[in-house]
Amino acid sequence: MSDIDPELTQLDCSAVIADVWLLLDNECDENARRRLQGHLDTCPSCLAHYGIEQQLKALVNRKCGGDQAPQGLRDRLRVEIRKTVIIQEITETER
């Protein structure tokens, strides 16, 4: 039997990718962090995406001096990212 928690392997990749920024920005609770990190540990595709987002965040921090976007902008961006992930997932399933 596998030692991997089935809850971690059943997470939808699009949901994990949509929530990657919550993990990067330390904006999720401990349970969500554990679930996201567990999925990243078992899914090379999501881990690669996480790495790209992590590098992007580091680049933005270097270039913007660590300035934070206003909360309203962050909320709108999060909604748009989720929409993009959902649209991309629908497009990929139609192939």
Which tens digits make up the pLDDT trace of 76-94? 998 888 887 776 666 777 7
Domain range for residue 34? 6-94
Q: Give the C-alpha separation, 36 to 15, whole Å.
A: 9
pLDDT at 61: 82
For residue 86, tell me if it sits in a domain: yes
- Locate tokens 């994990």: which residue? 16
Sign for the CA dihedral angle at 47, 53, 56, 60 comes to: negative
For residue 59, tell me if it sits in a domain: yes
For residue 64, tell me if it sits in a domain: yes
For residue 44, tell me if it sits in a domain: yes
Total domain count, the chain: 1
pLDDT digits (tens, 9 = 90+) for 2-36: 454 555 446 788 888 888 889 999 898 999 999 99
For residue 81, tell me if it sits in a domain: yes
pLDDT digits (tens, 9 = 90+) for 50-76: 999 999 988 888 887 767 789 999 999
Alpha-helical (H) ranges within the chain are 6-9, 13-18, 20-24, 30-42, 44-64, 71-94
For residue 1, tell me if it sits in a domain: no
For residue 76, tell me if it sits in a domain: yes
pTM, to two decimals: 0.57
For residue 38, tell me if it sits in a domain: yes
